[in-house]
Amino acid sequence: GGGCRQKTAVPAPRLISSSELEEFRPLIQIKHDRETGKVFQVLDGLLLKDGYLYKKVSPESLSFWGVVPTEEEISKFGSSENNESNDMEWLSNIYGDTKKKRVITADKGDGKGEGSS
């Protein structure tokens, strides 16, 4: 049917302060999630981590029609250009020159010769 759905206001995400949780400390349990491998604090069946509430939802339950991302979101999640020369330059600045130098010594008659490669 073409029923009209009421739009509810979605509160902005925010961190739960430790002072808000202090009275609930005796009730909080620690749980390791097998699917994600993350460790959560569990309070009354709610999974909490780093101040956020985690929920498992079915992808089919998500509605994304009419979503218009902002320019900031597009630039944040858009694909980047594949510019390997800049990547290599950036990596060499962090990790230094990738070429290793070694000293080769060889006996040649009276003296020793040294070379590097």
Q: If you write DSSP's letter for every residue of 5-68 in order, what string do you get?
A: PPPPPPPPP-PPPHHHHGGGGGG-EEEE-TTT--EEEEETTEEEETTEEE----GGG---TT--
Q: Tell me what pLDDT residue 3 has.
A: 63
Q: Report d(CA 7, CA 10) in Å as an integer.
A: 9
Compute CA 94 distance to the chain's CA centroid, rounded to the nearest angstrom: 21
The reported pTM is 0.38
Q: Which residue has the higher pLDDT, 31 or 117?
A: 31
8-43 tens-digit pLDDT = 888 888 776 777 777 778 888 999 988 888 999 898
Residue ranges covered by each domain of the chain: 16-54
DSSP state at residue 109: T
Compute CA 15 distance to the chain's CA centroid, rounded to the nearest angstrom: 18
DSSP state at residue 78: S
